[in-house]
Amino acid sequence: MATLRFATAFVFLLSLLHAFKVSKCQSFIGINYGQVADNLPPPSETAKLLQSTSIEKVRLYGADPAMIKALANTGIGIVIGAADGDIPALASDPNFAKSWINSNVIPFYPASKIILINVGNEVMTSNDQNLMNQLLPAVQNVQNALNEASLGGKIKVSTVHSMAVLRQSEPPSTGMFHPNLVQMLKGLLSFNNATGSPFEINPYPYFAYGSDPRPETLNYCLFQPNPGRVDSNTNIKYTNMFDAQVDAVRSALNAMGFKDVEIVVAETGWPYKGDSNEVGPSIENAKAYNGNLIAHLRSMVGTPLMPGKSVDTYLFALYDEDLKPGAGSERAFGIYKPDLTMTYDIGLSKSSQAPSMPKTPATAAPTPVSPASPTPTPVSPSPKPVSPSPKPNKASWCVPKVGLSDAQLQTNLDYACGHGIDCSPIQPGGACFDPNTVASHAAYAMNLLYQTAGRNPWNCDFSQTATLSSNNPSYNNCVYPAGGST
């Protein structure tokens, strides 16, 4: 009896530790709050919305005092920004930097949890040589002002870069910065390294898909099953573009000797609509990209070059910005509407973190057709057969086929967990965590998706890498759900 009580207590302790780990792991999910709009809800309502989600960080492009104040005592981390136009004064006048900190930080901190100050946005690819040269002195003066206010160890300072700072990104192992930017980046990276502040980057698979609108590229961008792309230098098979882009940045940092500088994804997202000549915008694609990205981050798998941890990632964006210039897609990145309802559900709400992802989320770019031609059918990674077989009457389980690579199994795992199922049993402390192998975890997740998605033959397809079995794969306390009659 004592042994049983001890075992029960131990399992309970594991459950608590697992719950704590899961609750803490949301800290890597942030969101961008742009304000180029005339229809945004009051800051207080936005603060309440954020508190109802698993989002734990919000990035402002400026330092709106009303929004910063509204986030006081919420525990939400706040990133604020100094505008590009402030950089010359920040660089040349330390007193201006002190005044900036005194106006935008001191009145609100620590009640408002300011964690990072971005000086400028994508300055290094602005082609403004004067501004580029002034960026490092501006960053240093802001840091010095924080130090004088005894906040140097509590609030970090950095700047945000576009992917255009890379001269090369494919394959990821060859990632390198543009030679014309290397010297200036070296100074900024030395600052990042010395202060522990992150190197911030804006990867957008959406834009990469626009230049290569093939169905297989779309699935690669949306974390959907795809053949993958092998880095010939490392033999690593990448199954999604997000990991490939982030690892290209990692390679570029490593090549310059900055292996310890952390990467933060300051922006990434997918528009849900756009102009008729734009490739890729749709509700289905936006939901698939953002939803599967969140599932990938929550899996804690990491990237091939940074395994076992998730990169802090700020989704773009909280709301549409209806006054933004440019293509229609520029005004259609909002995950929430100004009335605080969801544009589409990707599991951010604390009350429902497991949305039902679309069965066919990948809406491929249409093949050019004449105006009289019908709209092409969206591409599906697992198309329904014309005459589907009936659902099995006996208990059946969906299992991976023999001989699959770990890369393919990982793709299936990410795909399944990204479709609204409960993958907590294969996380640390879960009943099916051991054996801690991608094959075991993928098998559990693939079967659970099959069982919850309708138990149709096409629900156990996974790009022809899965099969139905009448043998129950359950073991020990790990129970594989099954439908049908036993």
- Name the residues annotated as catalytic: 122, 267
Mapping DSSP to helix (H, G, I), strand (E, B) and coil, where does residue 266 land?
strand
Q: Supply the DSSP symbol for 434.
A: -
Amino acid found at 71: L
Answer yes or no: are the C-beta atoms of 346 and 290 closer than 8 Å.
Answer: yes
What CA–CA distance (Å, rounded) separates 404 from 443? 11
Which candidate, 26, 31, 112, 116, places its Cα nearest to that of 74?
Answer: 112
Q: Supply the DSSP symbol for 122.
A: S
What CA–CA distance (Å, rounded) separates 71 from 46? 9
What CA–CA distance (Å, rounded) separates 84 from 124? 11
Which candidate, 331, 334, 295, places its Cα nearest to that of 315?
Answer: 334
What CA–CA distance (Å, rounded) separates 460 from 75? 42
Answer yes or no: are the C-beta atoms of 18 and 427 closer than 8 Å.
Answer: yes
Alpha helices in 196-316 (DSSP H): 205-210, 215-221, 241-255, 283-298
C-alpha to C-alpha distances, 248 to 30, 188, 189, 198, nearest whole angstrom: 22, 18, 16, 16
What CA–CA distance (Å, rounded) separates 338 from 335? 10
Mapping DSSP to helix (H, G, I), strand (E, B) and coil, where does residue 63 land?
coil
Q: Supply the DSSP symbol for 319.
A: B
